[in-house]
Structure 1
């Protein structure tokens, strides 16, 4: 655990100074908001591992490549197709800043969640699996950071563009499911990330500072035709 937390701290240092958090650890305490992951030797734990083995046997190269490419997108541009033409962050500075704030908040919350639950990644539990990408420095698996990011952002973006909400939420689900396709996460990691992300989005909307940023992004998107 110490090595994993040290690696997380090193990554954070390389990324430079972060803006102050709007949510305290108590606002999104993973020990209170998420159930513990299923034990490896439980019926659900065995079932999830069997599901990943089925993925391993049926996943095509194209499936893996697509899931890998999705996993490399770690900002709100993942929803560009759902939003439609014109959703370009370089032309939407208030929107870009809003979701950069979401990213900071959800990453901090996920880091605490992973450190609390300490669930091994699938390929650490079973070395016969073949995850997409580089399996080094695996950190922990629960909740899924990608799923948390997707659903925290989706919950807010859907408020900004309610007519596009179904497409936005569908995109979040596809993005999160790609982590199972890649065998980087167990299915329950994704479910936890979905719940955690939605809660983070709700809690952020309750903070006056974030709400002010949200209102600026809403004006900007309206002016851009969204």
Structure 2
């Protein structure tokens, strides 16, 4: 397990989440996923039946713009992950234009990812592709994905934490930002690497993490500097560093999944 926090015995980052960078929160402030979340849906339950329905619907999205978006969203490494919300924000997000925001996103990624670790380790829920033996969008990541439990979704925890923070920073674009956060999470269902219930409870953990972050002085300082960067870019009308047409097509193509 990776030790990513400042003190010994820190909550581990799940293996699919990433590197050894440290977040803002000390170990005792990381949300307790075991205490906050119910167990994953049991076989034969109504909740698992819904998971199976979502997984079945996702099969129709192979080789569509939603599939392409899912591949892109799967990469949580930087600099790729930094620009995930650029279109929703309407500005570029990278080291050149928004260094403080990139720093904040990296650190929040560690905290939100760590919040999922205890439940993942306890339940070790098999991922959809391990059950249905169907294609998934990042086959090169098989070993890493199989090593980490499916429940709850770390991508959804991270994506929703980012979305909530960015919506706070740019309230005028909050709806677009939160819609992107939902799409970022649904990409994991499209990819066939997470069950729908994994995504739902991952989003909850992302929100819990943001609540904890607001009590951290260093987070607040970085939040203020990130806001200044985004305000300046908005005034300059600098275009996003992302293919927003392709992203919109991917989000639109996800819609049959939830209908």
Scaled by the length of structure 1, the TM-score of the pair is 0.85
Question: In the aligned structure 1, how far is the partner of 2:111 from the partner of 2:172?
Answer: 26
Question: Which of 158, 167, 183 is the aligned partner of 2:192?
Answer: 183
Q: How many residues align?
A: 217
- The secondary structure found in structure 1 opposite 2:125 is coil
Q: Which runs of 5+ in 2 are unaligned?
A: 3-11, 236-259
Q: How far off its partner does 1:30 sit? A: 0.3
**Is the contact made by 1:92 and 1:220 (CA closer than 8 Å) also made in structure 2?**
yes
**Is the contact made by 1:147 and 1:176 (CA closer than 8 Å) also made in structure 2?**
yes
**Is the contact made by 1:23 and 1:204 (CA closer than 8 Å) also made in structure 2?**
no
CA deviation string 1:170-207 (max 9, x = no partner): 00111111111111111000101111111111210121
Q: CA-atom RMSD, angstroms?
A: 2.5
Is structure 2 residue 116 aligned with structure 1 residue 130? no
Q: How far off its partner does 1:9 sit? A: 8.0
Question: In the aligned structure 2, how far is the partner of 1:154 from the partner of 1:163?
Answer: 13
Q: Which runs of 5+ in 1 are unaligned?
A: none
**Is the contact made by 1:143 and 1:189 (CA closer than 8 Å) also made in structure 2?**
yes
**Is the contact made by 2:127 and 2:194 (CA closer than 8 Å) also made in structure 1?**
yes
**Is the contact made by 2:124 and 2:149 (CA closer than 8 Å) also made in structure 1?**
yes
Please show how residues 65-214 of structure 1 align to structure 2 within 5 Å.
65-74=68-77, 75-127=81-133, 129-134=134-139, 135-137=142-144, 138=146, 139-214=148-223
- The secondary structure found in structure 2 opposite 1:90 is coil
Question: Which of 218, 226, 230 is the aligned partner of 1:221?
Answer: 230
